[in-house]
């Protein structure tokens, strides 16, 4: 639920939240607009700035940030985000796209005075904003950066380039901030509003790690055969890089010194498959291997890979009558200043010398390009596409209105084509960790998901500090899951600009786990829940019963992990307590529980369970009977631990679940 308890305002050149100062010495050229004036219940501010002259890039100070605790998510590479924690403005990294600040007058872990301020840099018109810290010589200023990515796209005044809101619950504050930004921009939707493609509930295989670009129809069938014979038949298949028709420009053959980089400047020469996949070349064509994957190996969905620009090096200009219609032009990427500082290897990248073939971004042309390719693939039985290299669009805005404009044009065309050709919302977004991309996702819309850090380690550094174990959580319908990992020993270095090994303690690190580490675990409980949970460890195979806010200790060496299923305990009848755990030999076995009904008057629990294997539950008393379907089954019960186990020997029929009933 939204966190609306914090009052946020700017007064006397200070940003205050509930009388706590987050920023001080705010310059007079910084403007603010209250979001509550728009009639939204979220309390927040839009921040802008007035600059002296029009330009395509600006950096302004937002004031002094000091003596707080923050978590920043920033682009450490063109494609990807990483994180950094710190305490002062100078610690905020370049290209920060999300900033969560914790401030409290009382430094205890869950003090009532603790507030969490969320900073979301936005897109405004053709400009994209980001945050960064000042240099050590400039005190601890937090800076706001504006970039259009086009030297001729200029502005001097901004009003809604940063959104700030706050609350006493960090997760609710973040959720409320995203909802507010969605309402303001009206350019994206949240995951719960999107159609989930069918692949999200299935086990699948991507060809990349097995073959890289050397993938062939024969190799694909061998992979499907191997997985199926091993008892893991994939239900979706991604045919990754290597199926397309691409070539190196003829005049480049003798110019590229590093042959390892050839792939990045090869360009698409046809929207159709290459000779490896072409039926006329005497091998099984694309349509044939897709039909075989579905008919012989039971694959439900097949996705094909392509870069957002067609291929890594784009589309070859002058590639013949068909390709000429896409009006591709070779453009040298314009790498944003912050990215170049974080990832200086771009200076020697072959694309910086030989460019990318960029399809004309006008609606009719880029739209035709995607539709022609997707229509051809759909006709061969393809169900969706994995669209890679998406963040490169932020470098290709020169001469066409800027990075935001060209990204929007490509994404809108991509979305229209996917909606037309792959109605199951068949698209995977890849290499797209920049705000230009995820603030311009319309319909049908790429879908993303991840686990969330546990509150007590949100502001720790579990890969560098030598002391912290990473804890993450997520929710199933009736249970929660917690993952604990020792990630110490290697991380991206802000100094060396690459991932490096560093000193880490050789002895195990220790943390505690409790039921409420799954922040929304109450949503999986029934009425009148007292907070007690059953906790089952995947690697340790141990069941622990935890009273509300009680903890269990876990110690891990480097690269070790543990996964816990968390299940709220329900009192069935006096003296009988129960909590389902799910398929206990799976990492997230609680996700197998699709329905759960407590029939208290009859002393009965009824469940629907997906999959097969050993099903476990906590029970304070031995059941009178366990049934699977209509049959009574043998079960194991350890009365000393309260662990109940029964076997689901085989998968239910397609689209069906096991009906499991426990009678007391």
> What is the residue-averaged pLDDT of the chain?
92
Question: 570-664: CATH homologous superfamily?
Answer: Golgi alpha-mannosidase II (2.60.40.1180)
CB 532 within 8 A of CB 548: yes
Rounded alpha-carbon distances, angstroms, from residue 70 to 4, 148, 269, 488, 626: 20, 27, 48, 20, 51
Which of these, 386, 411, 406, lies nearest to 394 by C-alpha position?
406
Cis omega (within 30 of 0) for bond into 490: no
Q: Is the pTM of this model over 0.85?
A: yes
Backbone conformation region of residue 320, classed left if phi is above 0, alpha if psi is from -120 to 50, else beta: left
Greatest CA separation for the chain = 83
pLDDT tens per residue, range 595-614: 999 998 889 999 999 999 99
Average pLDDT (193-198) is: 90
pLDDT tens per residue, range 97-113: 999 999 877 655 567 78
CB 603 within 8 A of CB 619: no
Instruction: Give the residue, 332 or 653, on which the prediction is more confident.
Output: 332
Residue with tokens 């039909």: 291
Q: What share of the chain is helix, strand, coil (3-state, %, to 5)?
A: 25, 35, 40
Write down the domain spans for the chain. 8-186, 198-438, 450-568, 570-664
CB 417 within 8 A of CB 387: no
Which of these, 116, 146, 142, lies nearest to 18 by C-alpha position?
116
Distance CA 204, CA 299 (A): 9
Question: 450-568: CATH homologous superfamily?
Answer: Golgi alpha-mannosidase II (2.60.40.1180)
pLDDT tens per residue, range 545-564: 999 999 999 999 999 999 99
Fold match between 198-438 and 570-664?
no
Return the SS3 of 121. Answer: strand
pLDDT tens per residue, range 269-315: 999 999 999 876 566 789 999 999 999 999 999 999 999 999 999 99
CB 477 within 8 A of CB 593: yes
Distance CA 454, CA 333 (A): 39
Residue with tokens 């209105």: 401
Q: Which of 102-106, 513-517, 589-593 has the lowest mean pLDDT?
A: 102-106
Residue 261 is predicted with a pLDDT of 65
Distance CA 505, CA 573 (A): 49
Q: Which CATH number among 3.40.50.1240, 3.30.70.100, 3.20.20.70, 1.10.260.40 corresponds to the domain 198-438?
A: 3.20.20.70
Helix, strand counts (H, E) of the chain: 10, 43
Which of these, 198, 200, 242, lies nearest to 219 by C-alpha position?
242
Which of these, 602, 573, 607, 603, lies nearest to 589 by C-alpha position?
607
State the CB neighbour count (10 A cutoff) for residue 503: 8
Is the predicted pLDDT of residue 1 greater than 50, yes or no?
Answer: no
């Amino acid at each position: 639920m939204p966190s609306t308890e914090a009052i946020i305002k700017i007064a006397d050149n200070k940003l205050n939240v509930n009388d706590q100062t987050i920023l001080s010495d705010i310059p007079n050229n910084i403007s603010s607009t209250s979001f509550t004036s728009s009639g939204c219940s979220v309390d927040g501010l839009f921040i802008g700035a007035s600059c002296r002259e029009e330009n395509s890039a600006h950096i302004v100070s937002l004031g002094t940030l000091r003596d707080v605790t923050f978590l920043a998510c920033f682009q450490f590479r063109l494609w990807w985000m990483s994180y950094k924690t710190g305490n002062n403005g100078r610690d905020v990294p370049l290209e920060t796209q999300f900033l969560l600040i914790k401030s409290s007058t009382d430094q205890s872990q869950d003090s009532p005075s603790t507030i969490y301020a969320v900073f979301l840099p936005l897109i405004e018109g053709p400009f994209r904003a980001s945050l960064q810290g000042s240099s050590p010589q400039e005190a601890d200023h937090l800076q706001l950066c504006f970039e259009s990515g086009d030297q001729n796209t200029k502005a001097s005044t901004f009003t809604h380039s940063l959104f700030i809101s706050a609350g006493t619950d960090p997760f609710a504050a973040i959720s409320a901030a995203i909802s507010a930004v969605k309402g303001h921009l009206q350019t994206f939707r949240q995951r719960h509003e999107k159609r989930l493609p069918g692949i999200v509930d299935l086990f699948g295989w991507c060809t990349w790690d097995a073959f890289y670009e050397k993938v062939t129809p024969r190799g694909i069938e061998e992979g499907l055969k191997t997985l199926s014979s091993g008892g893991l038949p994939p239900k979706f298949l991604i045919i990754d890089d290597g199926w397309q028709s691409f070539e190196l420009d003829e005049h480049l053959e003798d110019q590229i010194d590093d042959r390892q980089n050839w792939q990045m400047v090869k360009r698409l020469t046809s929207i159709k498959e290459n000779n490896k996949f072409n039926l006329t070349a005497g091998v099984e064509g694309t349509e044939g291997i897709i039909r075989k994957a579905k008919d012989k190996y039971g694959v439900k969905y097949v996705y094909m890979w392509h870069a957002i620009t067609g291929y890594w090096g784009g589309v070859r200009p002058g590639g013949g009558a068909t390709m000429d219609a896409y009006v591709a032009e070779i453009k040298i990427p314009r790498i944003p200043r912050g990215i170049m500082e974080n990832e200086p290897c771009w200076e020697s990248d072959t694309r910086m010398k030989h460019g990318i073939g960029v399809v004309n971004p006008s609606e009719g042309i880029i739209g035709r390009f995607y539709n022609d390719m997707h229509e051809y693939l759909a006709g061969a039985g393809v169900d969706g596409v994995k669209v890679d290299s998406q963040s490169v669009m932020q470098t290709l805005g020169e001469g066409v209105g800027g990075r935001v404009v060209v990204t929007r044009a490509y994404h809108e065309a991509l979305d229209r084509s996917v909606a037309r050709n792959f109605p199951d919302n068949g698209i995977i977004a890849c290499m797209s960790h920049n705000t230009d991309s995820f603030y311009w996702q319309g319909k049908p819309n790429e879908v993303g998901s991840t686990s969330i850090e546990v509150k007590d380690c949100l502001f720790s550094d579990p890969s560098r500090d030598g002391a912290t174990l990473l804890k993450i959580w997520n929710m199933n319908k009736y249970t929660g899951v917690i993952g604990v990992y020792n990630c110490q020993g290697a991380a991206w270095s802000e100094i060396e600009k690459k991932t490096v090994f560093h000193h880490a303690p050789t002895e195990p690190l220790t943390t505690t786990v409790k039921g409420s580490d799954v922040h929304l675990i109450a949503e999986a409980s029934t009425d009148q829940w007292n907070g007690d949970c059953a906790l089952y460890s995947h690697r340790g195979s141990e069941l622990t019963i935890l009273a509300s806010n009680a903890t269990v200790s876990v110690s891990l060496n480097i690269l070790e992990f543990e996964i816990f299923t968390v299940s709220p305990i329900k009192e069935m009848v006096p003296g009988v307590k129960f909590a389902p755990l799910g398929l206990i030999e799976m990492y997230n076995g609680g996700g197998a529980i699709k329905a759960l009904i407590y029939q208290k008057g009859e002393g009965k629990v009824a469940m629907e369970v997906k999959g097969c294997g050993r099903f476990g539950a906590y029970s304070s008393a031995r059941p009178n009977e366990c049934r699977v379907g209509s049959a009574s089954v043998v079960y194991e019960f350890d009365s000393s631990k309260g662990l109940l186990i029964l076997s689901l020997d085989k998968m239910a029929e397609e689209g069906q679940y096991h009906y499991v009933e426990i009678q007391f």
